[in-house]
């Protein structure tokens, strides 16, 4: 039995790649099943995969601060990344002041915002029911959290 020649194998691989790359819906369906780490690896494969999968990478953002070894660099990267990709973020869980500040200023397509453990809420970024509701501590009058409204979230 003869071995297949390399040219037929190459043609088959090129055809398979062409089929996959012509179906961004297929790549997106696969991407929805991947972990965030795997998604980040996939957006680095090629420009087409980056364009197709980047919205999934940024769809929900909930970083874990305990892994941040260089806070200044992470803060700078976060601000730059948010400015470049904030239009892709829909639900956002903000547990870090930098995320909340940047989201308030830039993320216009949010569908939901969950805030946990943020030290300060800046009044210039948010419309609140009263100036006193922009407090740095977690004690609230009548045990009620402050009213937080982002007018551009429908």
Q: Is 140 helix (H, G, I), strand (E, B) or coil?
A: coil
Q: Looking at the structure, tell me whether residues 84 and 128 fall in a common domain.
A: yes
Provide the number of structural domains found in the chain: 2
Q: Looking at the structure, tell me whether residues 86 and 47 fall in a common domain.
A: no
Instruction: List CB contacts of 72: < 8 A, sequence separation 6 or more.
Output: none
Q: Looking at the structure, tell me whether residues 31 and 68 fall in a common domain.
A: no
Q: Looking at the structure, tell me whether residues 78 and 142 fall in a common domain.
A: yes
Tokens matching residue 146: 């402050």
Query: Do 99 and 85 form a contact (C-beta atoms < 8 A)?
Result: no
What pLDDT does 115 receive? 74
Q: Looking at the structure, tell me whether residues 69 and 81 fall in a common domain.
A: yes
In angstroms, rounded to a whole number, what is the distance separating the alpha carbons of residues 49 and 19?
Answer: 13
Which among 41, 58, 75 is the end of a domain? 58
Q: Looking at the structure, tell me whether residues 92 and 40 fall in a common domain.
A: no
Whether the per-residue pLDDT at 98 is higher than 90: the answer is: no
If pLDDT is split at 50, 70 and 90, which confidence band does 139 have? very low
Tokens matching residue 17: 């790649």
Question: Could you read off the pLDDT of 51-77 as tens digits, one per residue?
Answer: 899 888 887 666 555 555 556 666 777
Domain residues for the domain of 34 are 1-58
Taken in order 85, 82, 53, 55, the sign of the CA dihedral is negative
Q: Looking at the structure, tell me whether residues 51 and 116 fall in a common domain.
A: no
Q: Looking at the structure, tell me whether residues 90 and 109 fall in a common domain.
A: yes
Which among 9, 33, 58 is the end of a domain? 58
Torsion of CA 19, 21, 25, 28, to 10 degrees: 130
Q: Looking at the structure, tell me whether residues 99 and 129 fall in a common domain.
A: yes
pLDDT above 70: percentage of residues in the chain: 49
Long-range contacts at 110-117 (CB < 8 A, ≥ 24 apart): 110/150, 110/152, 110/153, 111/153, 112/153, 113/150, 113/153, 115/148
């Amino acid at each position: 039995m003869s071995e297949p020649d390399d040219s037929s194998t190459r043609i088959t691989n090129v055809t398979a790649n062409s089929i996959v790359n012509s179906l961004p819906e297929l790549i997106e369906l696969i991407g929805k099943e991947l972990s965030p780490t795997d998604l980040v690896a996939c957006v680095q494969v090629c420009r087409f995969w980056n364009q197709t999968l980047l919205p999934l990478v940024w769809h929900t953002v909930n970083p874990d601060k305990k892994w941040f070894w260089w806070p200044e660099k992470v803060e700078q990267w976060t601000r730059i990344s948010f400015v470049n990709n904030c239009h892709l973020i829909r639900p956002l869980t903000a547990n870090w002041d930098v995320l909340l500040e940047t989201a308030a200023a830039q993320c216009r397509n949010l569908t939901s915002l969950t805030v946990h453990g943020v030290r300060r809420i800046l009044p210039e970024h948010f419309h609140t029911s009263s100036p006193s509701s922009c407090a740095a501590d977690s004690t609230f009058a009548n045990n009620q959290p402050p009213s937080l409204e982002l007018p551009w979230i429908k």
